[in-house]
Structure 1
Amino acid sequence: MGLIAAIRRRRVQLALGSRITIAAVATLVIGHLTDTPMVLWAVLTAVILTQMSVGRSVKATIDYALGTVGGAIYAGLVSALLPPTSEASLVGALALAIAPLATLAAFSPRFSVAPSTGVIVVLAPTLTHATPFHSASDRVLEVALGGAVALVVSHIVFPARARVLARQAAADMLETIAEALPLLFAGFADGQDAETIRALQRSIGTAFARLDRMEQEARHERIAAVSGAEPDLAPLLQALLRMRHDLVMIGRAALTPLPLALAESLGPALDAIATQAGERARGLARALRESRAIDASAPLDDAFEAFAQEIARLRDDGRLRSLTVDELEHLFALAFACEQWREDFAELARRIGEGAR
């Protein structure tokens, strides 16, 4: 059972290993059957372009194709117009071919393969005695074969949809938020050091960055018509981004403990928000993983409402008049952030429901 559980935990990685192996073998077999010149490059291309998800494979193939075609055309023209007749002319042609392509790759990662393509196109004729045109066309053919096999294998062999991985990444982010809340809200009682707050925010930011990458890959799946008419993930991403921003505001407020005059009355209300928000975040994460809608959370709404009513009561009692300007700004900034956060949870639940099966 332990082995089966380990395989389930690593099924995405194991599936990727299987896809890469099958893509490499299939490309080699097809290359030999079609007499593809320099089948080595086709196999390497298939290995490089077989990615973790279908969306990432689509994006990698598009970028690789653009870099290869652009590099092959330009380097082929340089080799044709300046045929290397000596060692010095070969060095000059190589420099002239590589310099613009390397500069382009430095400005745009999409063309990162262009310089290596230029090297192959310029130098391959010295080894195979082919013409610059044949060298460039062979390179494009090899990439076309490797890219086509990579895309087909990504679609049919243990396909990992970026949309599913994005929802899992969103669930991971919500669980990270839930784990951070007790330590974050503890700052309102005793104060929290800035480094601890930064560490918590970094962990949430890292989780969001992973989600952002997955959403971009899912967008490529939609462009390639892999995901059909499934809802766009951008609204879900925006809802989580707003939640993260408002959590940053709460974290800044947690750097300073509440004034002693307010801690006794507001402390329990904030503790209730932290507890219920953590439970709600975990519930939303489960809904994302199971691809189902989720009902409103009455306990969380009650916690936010109790906090707002307690501030209103303190204002009506006149106890806020004894606070300094800085303390008042601190309190109202916290109240505003909590109200925004309440809306974030409601918006996020709606977005999760839209993407449910």
Structure 2
Amino acid sequence: MALSGWIERAGERIGARGAELKLAFRVTIAGVLAYAVTRFFDMPQGYWAVITAVVVMQASVGGSLKAAIERFSGTLAGAIYGGVIAALIPHGSALTLGICIIVALFPLALLAAVKPAFRVAPITSLIMLLPPTGQAIGPLASAIDRVLEITLGNVVGVLVSLFVLPARAHTLMTEAAAKVVSLNADLVTVFIDELTAGPTDRPALQKIHPQIRSALKKAEAAADEAARERRTHLTEAPDPEPLIRTLYRVRHDLVMIGRAASSPLPDPVLDRLKPSLTALHQATRALLLKLSDSLRQRRKPPDAEAFRAALEAFTGEADALRADVLVHELPAQAFGQVFALGFAFEQFQKNLIDLLARTDELASGRTKTSLGS
């Protein structure tokens, strides 16, 4: 019984790491395939193709393309410049080799600092000067050999990324976006609890906010890779930028709601608003969780009618307070808090409807990829 339970738990943990296992499998395939090709062509420094294939392999096709382009451009610049320095400046002694290293490193290090895509260039330039193989076959032949091997590694890495358990950047983006939306649902719960019971769950806020920021950064990085896949015609999925912009607008709306909910409502106001506020909380949380599932599964977004009705009921109750005698017995700050809360939720509704529209676009374009999903 204990063994079966252990196996079941192990299976659950493995299943939860499906994306990581696929990436590890693709990395292994790319390294082995690159090694086999270098052996077939009997390349003298074939290990660079193997290393490049492994380095190029990223979590998505777009990420692999970016890594391949940067690796190739940096290697080409470093090989050409380092080969010229090695050919023109004698470096048989320790002193002259040190001078060559200075001349080879500084310009390329400056280039890499200005344009991070060329960060491999200084390393390649050094390799042109230091290894005995480069000195044995000559600077020009070594430069050509280096570029050919790095190119081979790039090609192998991108092809494996495309055809071996491919992970589209749009998929990674929507998964990160779904994480953001589900965390937003938890955030709304904390805010409503603060309104009704006071700031008793600050540790939860301190945990949720960094998680949301991290998920947003992942979604933004994946969107950049997804845009690269679109530019290279590897997918016909919708433009990812509108989704990211909307997620940040929703994030801003929740910050406004959080400010309005930073202190509990006075008891007389809470007695009037708690039923509609509770209904709004439940409708908002349910909509966000369903929307998270829709993003994760790339399907049509849920209906927002229940959320709209709950928000209208809450704003109606809040507006009714203006004409109530109760208002005159309360501090102006309390009524201002209710007004700010209603305004923040109305702004939240506008951007949430936009987020539903972006989700619908993604669901409509899920099968429109030039190389399959």
Do 2:74 and 2:121's aligned partners in 1 also have CA atoms closer than 8 Å?
yes
For 2:76, the aligned partner's letter is V
1:119-160 deviation line (CA, Å, top 9, x unaligned): 111223576423222222222111100000000011111111
Percent of matched pairs sharing the same residue: 37
For 1:101, the aligned partner's letter is L
1:192-232 deviation line (CA, Å, top 9, x unaligned): 276653433222111111111111111111122111x2211
Do 1:80 and 1:132's aligned partners in 2 also have CA atoms closer than 8 Å?
yes
1:155-200 deviation line (CA, Å, top 9, x unaligned): 1111111111211111121112223322222111233276653433
Aligned equivalent of 2:79: 72
Which ranges in structure 1 are unaligned for 5 or more consecutive residues? none
Please report the TM-score for the alignment, with normalisation by the length of structure 1: 0.92
Structure-2 change in CA distance of 1:332 and 1:71 (3 Å): farther
Paired positions, count: 356
Do 2:294 and 2:302's aligned partners in 1 also have CA atoms closer than 8 Å?
no
Between stretches 258-267 and 208-217, larger displacement belongs to 258-267
Q: Determine helix, strand or coil for the equivalent of 2:25.
A: helix
Structure 2 CA distance for aligned equivalents of residues 259 and 265 of structure 1: 10
Structure 2 CA distance for aligned equivalents of residues 268 and 97 of structure 1: 72
Choose from 199, 214, 223 the match for 1:215.
223
Matches within 5 A, 1:1-357: 2=8, 5-124=12-131, 128-192=135-199, 196-227=204-235, 229-357=236-364
Between stretches 140-149 and 207-216, larger displacement belongs to 207-216
1:310-353 deviation line (CA, Å, top 9, x unaligned): 11100122543444444444333222111011112211111111
Q: Determine helix, strand or coil for the equivalent of 1:342.
A: helix
1:26-46 deviation line (CA, Å, top 9, x unaligned): 111111222323101110000
Between stretches 261-270 and 1-10, larger displacement belongs to 1-10
Structure 1 CA distance for aligned equivalents of residues 114 and 267 of structure 2: 55
Structure-2 change in CA distance of 1:238 and 1:127 (3 Å): closer
Please report the TM-score for the alignment, with normalisation by the length of structure 2: 0.89
Structure 1 runs (4+) greater than 6 angstroms displaced: none
For 1:354, the aligned partner's letter is E
Do 1:82 and 1:93's aligned partners in 2 also have CA atoms closer than 8 Å?
yes
For 1:157, the aligned partner's letter is V
Q: Determine helix, strand or coil for the equivalent of 1:183.
A: helix
Q: Determine helix, strand or coil for the equivalent of 1:129.
A: helix
Structure-2 change in CA distance of 1:117 and 1:318 (3 Å): farther
Q: Determine helix, strand or coil for the equivalent of 2:363.
A: coil
Structure 2 CA distance for aligned equivalents of residues 164 and 310 of structure 1: 42
Structure 2 CA distance for aligned equivalents of residues 200 and 267 of structure 1: 24
Two-structure CA RMSD over aligned residues (Å): 2.1
Give 1:95 deviation, angstroms: 1.6
For 2:296, the aligned partner's letter is R
Structure-2 change in CA distance of 1:333 and 1:314 (3 Å): same
Do 2:26 and 2:161's aligned partners in 1 also have CA atoms closer than 8 Å?
yes
Structure-2 change in CA distance of 1:107 and 1:330 (3 Å): farther
1:275-323 deviation line (CA, Å, top 9, x unaligned): 2111111111121222221242222111111111011100122543444
Do 2:238 and 2:361's aligned partners in 1 also have CA atoms closer than 8 Å?
yes
